[in-house]
Amino acid sequence: MSEVRLEKVEKRFGEHVAVRDIDLLVRPGEFVTLLGPSGCGKTTCLRMIAGFVAPTRGRIVMGGRDITALPPYRRNTGMVFQSYALFPHRTIADNVAFGLQVRRLPRAECDARIKDALCLVHLERFADRYPGQLSGGQRQRVALARAVVIRPEVLLLDEPLAALDPKLREELQVEIKRIQSTLKITTLFVTHDQGEALSMSDRVAVMHDGRIVQIDSPEVLYERPNSRYVANFVGRTNLFNVVVREKLDGGMVRVETEGASKASFIAAVTDLKVDVGARCLLGARPEHFHFGGGRANTIQAKVRGATYLGSIRYVDAEGSEGQSFAVQVRPGEPTPSLGEVVVISWRPESCFLLRE
Amino acid sequence: MIRWLALRAALFLAFAFLLAPVCIVIIVSFNGGPVLSFPPTHFTTHWYALIKPEFFAALNVSLIVAGATALLSVALGLPAALALSRGRFPGRDGLNSILLSPLVVPALVTGVALYQFSLTFWDFTNLALGGTLIGLIIGHLTFGIPFSVRAILAGHARFDYALEEAALNLGATPLQTFWRVTVPILRPSIVAGGIFAFVMSLDDVPIALFMGGGDATTLPVRIFTTVEFDFGGEVMAIAALIVGGSVLLMLVLDRLIGLDCLFGARR
């Protein structure tokens, strides 16, 4: 268990800046995810820690040791690749053995550790097969075993589930999380899938354009996103342009929409410092909206459409000023019909204010 | 059904066309008559007993030259292919074309040029290349290296660099990564390049004609010069032995590595 720290790390490829001024601390045993769309610099960050890419500026510290200038083979990180990257000419056992063989470990210890690692991923029966004879999910579990068998200081996972189908992906999410918590290994996971990020991580760092926009626990990230970008990237969010009108007791503020209707809402303010007159975004998740009145914030809207996703149903509604937003229909609740005018209400605690 | 039969027939005819001359050579080599004739008049094996020792000496030369050509072609071709496919340096495309060019120039022209080169080399250093095994091997490398570079480049086109990164990540030094990952993964195309070079060397007449001679006379050249004076059963017997040897080699290679793998039909 080691901590990994990026200090003011920047990476340029010619004119293009892939990673800008990143500070990141992954604590010992922690599972941190870098979440972002392709091209946001998340994979570059991971590859800099593995040593395949040299940072243009900044330091990388692992377990108290500055590894910025070390070649990949002196770093003791365990990486899992999106393409599995299993050696096709070696059996499963030999793939797992590779890192131990180049470390010149005694034969008996090698064998014992290979057996443990294969048991950990439930593939002990496949030791003598070749990678070509295994399914995608099994191959990725071999890759995982090969990465952890060398007891790396940090486990680096580069979109390991992207090539798998959804069902298998869920299974492996659980599997990876189980292995990670069994071994208590410091882990950095890269993905563009917010579901993976939220379900597996201790903390998630949302990246945009080479920067970390927000790093928080999945709950905080979802319930208190700090920007329009995070609010939209992680889950669905309804946003209203509002102006702060009044500070109330108990950490609440009264805000007013900017349009002609001047609808007034009450929102809880946690960490954001806002002044009266400031323009903000009021955000609320579809599942925080309820049909019918009875909560402090209400709005009238016309039903424009409905989306059925199996376990979840959304109604797309349009407010009087043309704002469109989504409301989650609760189980057993009837879906309002198209064109119907409904009242929607929500509680002040379940919405958040964002700086524009 | 009819189309299927027609395809079958076409396939059969194509194979018959390719194999008929070879079969005739083998059959004629067992012909007991005083002159070459087909079909054979009566059966004998005495042509085989009559093969002169100089043919076996020539075969020995051929095998040594072909073996050395194959090994050196691969040893020089692998780094060249890696540099051409991975390197980023000025003149890379030009170098690529130059490495291919010996295959475009007729072997006879290369042979004349090599002969001229060996004379000039003699003038300057007093060292003989012509008529020596070294000279022959150098001559055969002019096409052996391009062949192995082509084969390795083709195999390298689908190389997954993540494999090397995985090896480095697991603690292998660049040298260990090269020997334990890069070379084994490229092995089918390395072997293919070596076999191409071997076979081309064994098959070559024009270059061996100019660079060989004396103790460095290869089997094809020996056969070629013999046929000029005496086209008889002895030559047929040698030809039949060569066919047999080739078939044996192919069977062994198929057993060891799989020929379809060698020629890129299967991964």
Diameter of chain B by CA atoms?
A: 72
A103 at B interface, C-beta within 8 A: yes
Residue A121 neighbours by CB under 8 Å, 6+ apart? A141, A142, A144, A145, A175, A179
State the DSSP string of B42-88: SB--HHHHH--HHHHHHHHHHHHHHHHHHHHHHHHHHHHHHHHHH--
Rounded Cα distance between A267 and A283, Å, is: 9
Residue A99 has what pLDDT?
A: 95
Nearest Cα residue in chain B from A73: B171
Residue A319 has what pLDDT?
A: 84
DSSP β-ladder status, A264-268 and A252-257? antiparallel
Contact at CB, B173 and A52, closer than 8 angstroms: no
Residue from A13, A62, A70, A87 to probe the interface with B (highest B Cβ count within 10 Å): A87
Nearest Cα residue in chain A from B182: A87
Mean pLDDT of A252-271: 80
How many domains does chain B divide into? Answer: 1
* Look-up of token digits 């809880």: A268
Contact A145, A121 (CB under 8 A): yes
CATH superfamily of A238-355: Nucleic acid-binding proteins (2.40.50.140)
Residue A261 pLDDT exceeds 80: no
Residue A146 has what pLDDT?
A: 96
Band the pLDDT of B265: cuts 50, 70, 90.
very low
The SS3 call for residue B253 is helix
B47 domain residue, yes or no: no
Task: Quote the percentage of chain B above a pLDDT of 70.
Answer: 93
A76 at B interface, C-beta within 8 A: yes
B14 domain residue, yes or no: no
B135 domain residue, yes or no: yes
pTM of the shown model: 0.82
Neighbours of A10 (CB within 10 A): 17
Rounded Cα distance between A35 and A16, Å, is: 20
Residue A187 has what pLDDT?
A: 96
Task: Quote the percentage of chain A above a pLDDT of 70.
Answer: 99
Residue B267 has what pLDDT?
A: 41
Band the pLDDT of A149: cuts 50, 70, 90.
very high
Quick: pLDDT tens for A153-195.
999 999 999 888 888 899 999 999 999 999 999 999 999 999 9
A72 at B interface, C-beta within 8 A: yes
Task: Quote the percentage of chain B above a pLDDT of 90.
Answer: 31
B146 domain residue, yes or no: yes
The SS3 call for residue A187 is strand
* Helix then strand then coil, % of chain A, to nearest 5: 30, 35, 35
Task: Specify whether domain A4-231 bears CATH 1.50.10.10.
Answer: no
Q: Containing domain of residue B113, as a range?
A: 52-229
Q: Give me the residues paired with residue A305 across strands.
A: A316
Quick: pLDDT tens for A73-90.
999 999 999 999 999 999
CATH 2.40.50.140 domain extents, chain A: 238-355
Rounded Cα distance between A343 and A329, Å, is: 13
Residue B37 pLDDT exceeds 90: no
Residue from A86, A89, A139, A150 to probe the interface with B (highest B Cβ count within 10 Å): A89
Residue B261 has what pLDDT?
A: 56
Q: What is the ipTM of this complex?
A: 0.86
B182 domain residue, yes or no: yes
Residue B258 pLDDT exceeds 80: no
Nearest Cα residue in chain A from B171: A73
Quick: pLDDT tens for A23-58.
999 999 999 999 999 889 999 999 999 999 999 999
Mean pLDDT of B34-41: 69
B138 domain residue, yes or no: yes
Nearest CB to B184 within list A79, A86, A89: A89
Residue B141 neighbours by CB under 8 Å, 6+ apart? B69, B72, B73, B76
B250 domain residue, yes or no: no
Q: Which CATH number do you get for residue B202?
A: 1.10.3720.10
Rounded Cα distance between A156 and A138, Å, is: 18
Closest by alpha carbon to A229, among A188, A264, A194? A194
Mean pLDDT estimate for chain A: 90
Rounded Cα distance between B3 and A351, Å, is: 73
B4 domain residue, yes or no: no
CATH 3.40.50.300 domain extents, chain A: 4-231
